A and B are shown apart, each in its own frame.
Chain A
């Protein structure tokens, strides 16, 4: 965590006369630990013994604990890398997606905001013991995870929306080539209050308390720099039966046919920003376009539809997840032998989304959907559905091409997209001295 930085932009001196002169500029970080503790907050090397940490030294990396021993929690996902670590993995059990608008008043403050998010993400994903507060204020940590912060597989995915590139921070010339406001599609019912945002943060982990802990930590440390717009929590179910693919709230397996994340070549052609592409600024290398769509599912209505009709709309068996023309979960539907849709209807969701033609290959997305469940609507129906997220190289060529094919599919009667946005997940943080968006902001 940087200490009080060198003043970059003196503020206008508009204090009332009784006040002491203002410092050169404000800092989101200055409230941390009351500004009292001389020691910095521990980074990824913070020590922690399994269970209750009685001794840990942030200056001694050897003290890093085997936190996997704690309550079956997941091990740490390495934070540093060319790409952000939360993009390729399968959905975790718990996630939260939060949109923020930047309230930093200068480019320097925006940079400081990104540095702070980086520092907190670095600590939270590695785990460790939070700094003791002494008598100088409230504890530095919420305590939600107990005295030792367990990593629990936490990933932090941080992205930027098109509105960040307006005239506030002088970033217009750096706008990513494919970053635009989210397009409303014909069957959408978008709520502006739950759409868009300068910044997007997705936190995913093995347990909901880990996600909440990370959110509270990041929000507390960026209090003046960004203001939350909208938020949705999601979860991924266990695969049932084991060895299959988790189901959505319609009862169907979701995301069966995803491109192979183990193939670097496939990821280079479908997920990561294409270096040197027309209009693509160099700083975006290592990033990925990130689409979030909040989709209500009218589950009561759906549950009143017979299963054959449901399967016809989806194109898969509900129980097994097999395509209607196949005999295994990952069987490739053979649409060439079913040109009139006698087996898999031409309007089935899986057939429209991925028609398996040579032309459609480049429109594949990396689909990462979570379920959401958040109470009731005005008529007492259950407000649940899908936090649809996907990653891709080009939103127009991929998500929008898929979504265009899906316009007016039979399923639209049972779902209603109401929010979300288009973002660029930033390039990864490559090491201890790097930070989110450095190549953009430096």
Chain B
């Protein structure tokens, strides 16, 4: 459901400390290297280099090792990262551009099968502002957060299991009005668990899959949207009873399997913007409205899911992302805009029925938040460090 992919880093922390062997590729022919060339290899991390002063600068990173690696430009005092080149192929020259300000700079080389190496420190004097360095977030930083999120999800799934059992009972006993009400409660509960969908694996398709490829008449289509379609298209108690029962049993199976599942560490940061990216794509367009007209309510639930991730990450983000307080303001304003579209009787206005100006305000707010949340994926991506800081 959440589709973006981010590859795990080449270098794993476990590889640090492996045997160091020299493997210096032969230098290129003729003339000296360009002044901004930074040579790295398994036993050299930048050698002696200089910066002419503040301003935009492009280093050419010449990887003379026989293997791939990562090179970071760091503040050697605290390990904060100015920039990084994650996938440096052997024998390649890769540009690294940076707005250099006053401060200390050193390269950190992280090569497969070799110990991390920190090169010479270069200081740019004065008080010129440049690109800020960001303290790397480590795997160790994220592990407890992922565990907390695991617990949040488990608690949420327990609630969800009760709620889907209620819906199944409503349908089985022929109380379709109650089933509609309870369907919404349960679906919104599911939609607050936005960071876990990948970890849910096939369960996500079973519980919250769209009709897209199957078509609305396919017996293979199951889950919340299938039930929504039936409830709001006049399908019979007889037809919907197995649909609701399957939903309930699939949620129970998911809950039972949950303790064995793991939230990928990358997902904690990545999902902070992906949840609302998907809301913009599937809810605010009305794509996922199978009859109930509640995609704005779903978006409110998605905001709750985003807030949960942000609150877990807040200690890591506060020193690293100055826009964080503004994001909270934006989320609050966005939620308020959405909640104004709830009618006094508790039902929701479908997006297709919104006045143009209201819909524009909602779409603009969501797009703006997606824009502002997106840097968190990079900032909270787990990074390797030399463990020397």
Instruction: Spell out A's residues near B (CB within 8 Å).
Output: 11, 14-16, 18-23, 26-28, 30-31, 34-39, 42, 47, 53-60, 101, 103, 105, 129, 131-132, 134-138, 220, 223-227
Q: Do B101 and A39 have beta carbons less than 8 Å apart?
A: yes
Query: With contacts A136-B375, A138-B375, A225-B364 known, is A26 near B329, CB below 8 A?
Result: yes
Which secondary structure characterizes the binding site on chain A?
loop
Distance in angstroms from B334 CB to nearest chain A CB is 10
Report if B91 contacts A (CB, 8 A).
Answer: no
A-B pairs, 10 with minimum CB distance = A137-B375, A224-B368, A34-B375, A22-B329, A39-B99, A35-B323, A57-B55, A38-B129, A103-B364, A227-B360
Q: Do A38 and B56 have beta carbons less than 8 Å apart?
A: no
Query: With contacts A132-B97, A137-B379 known, is A39 near B130, CB below 8 A?
Result: yes
Report if B261 contacts A (CB, 8 A).
Answer: no
Taken residue by residue from 358 to 389, chain B's Cβ proximity to chain A (1 for < 8 Å, 0 otherwise) reads as 00110111011011101101110001000000
A134 to B73, CA, bound (A): 10
A39 to B102, CA, bound (A): 12
Which one of A16, A101, A131, A136 lies within 8 Å of B132 (CB-CB)?
A: A136
Find chain A residues with CB under 8 A from B134 CB: 36, 134-136
Find chain B residues with CB under 8 A from A226 CB: 364
Residue of A nearest to B34 (CB): A54
Residue of A nearest to B314 (CB): A20
Report if B253 contacts A (CB, 8 A).
Answer: no
Find chain A residues with CB under 8 A from B329 CB: 11, 15, 22-23, 26
Residue of B nearest to A193 (CB): B356
Q: Do B132 and A38 have beta carbons less than 8 Å apart?
A: yes
Q: Do B360 and A39 have beta carbons less than 8 Å apart?
A: no
Residue of B nearest to A224 (CB): B368
Instruction: Spell out B's residues near A (CB within 8 Å).
Output: 36, 54-58, 60, 81-84, 95, 97-99, 101, 129-132, 134, 307, 311, 321-326, 328-330, 332-333, 336, 356-357, 360-361, 363-365, 367-368, 370-372, 374-375, 377-379, 383
Q: Do A134 and B82 have beta carbons less than 8 Å apart?
A: yes
Distance in angstroms from A209 CB to nearest chain B CB is 22
Query: With contacts A23-B329, A101-B360 known, is A132 near B99, CB below 8 A?
Result: yes
Best-surrounded residue of A11, A35, A137 (most CB of chain B within 10 A): A137
A226 to B367, CA, bound (A): 11
Best-surrounded residue of A31, A35, A56, A105 (most CB of chain B within 10 A): A31
A138 to B374, CA, bound (A): 7
Q: Do B379 and A37 have beta carbons less than 8 Å apart?
A: no
Q: Do A35 and B83 have beta carbons less than 8 Å apart?
A: no
Residue of B nearest to A225 (CB): B364
Find chain B residues with CB under 8 A from A26 CB: 326, 329-330, 333, 368
Which one of B36, B328, B365 lies within 8 Å of A54 (CB-CB)?
A: B36
A30 to B332, CA, bound (A): 17
Q: Do B321 and A224 have beta carbons less than 8 Å apart?
A: no
Q: Do A224 and B364 have beta carbons less than 8 Å apart?
A: yes
Which one of A129, A137, A138 lies within 8 Å of B56 (CB-CB)?
A: A129
5 contacts between A and B (CB under 8 A): A15-B332, A34-B321, A58-B55, A134-B83, A135-B383
Q: Do B323 and A20 have beta carbons less than 8 Å apart?
A: no
